[in-house]
Amino acid sequence: MAASDGFLDHLKDTLRGLGPVSVRRMFGGAGVYADGVMFALVADDTLYLKADEETKQAYEAEGLGPFGYEGGGRTIALPYWRAPERLFDDPDEMTAWARIALDVARRSAAKKAKRAPRAAAKRRRSKG
């Protein structure tokens, strides 16, 4: 699940229209962040963008699938879908797809933030 320095440098260059983007290495791959939110991941020098029920149809229409890994004897799919290769040749289109992925990541983060206080309260109630 490696992510080469050359691929990551090219990716950051292609994403320059999105604004400041950072890359953090993890598990041999890398997470791609904007505004502190992870909106993409890189595995084996392949870009996967965050998608949800509203946006995954665009990837399916391209014949692309989600990122998955083997765990517990089964394949676990994550909500990151393989980006079309042509995006690396068109920074404007890459930026458009990345903006959509960033919006998905922000919505997901907002939902998690709403659930976190309720889950903490539920844990406190069950202890007491």
- Tell me: pLDDT of 116 over 70: no
Contacts of residue 35, Cβ cutoff 8 Å, sequence gap at least 6: 102, 106
User: What pLDDT digit, counting tens, does each position of 64-85 carry?
Assistant: 999 998 888 999 999 999 999 9
Report the distance separating Cα 57 and Cα 17, nearest Å: 24
- Tell me: pLDDT of 125 over 70: no
What's the pLDDT score for residue 1? 60
What's the pLDDT score for residue 104? 97
Say how many CA atoms lie within 13 Å of 45 toward its Cβ.
7
Q: What is the pTM of this model?
A: 0.86
What's the pLDDT score for residue 114? 78
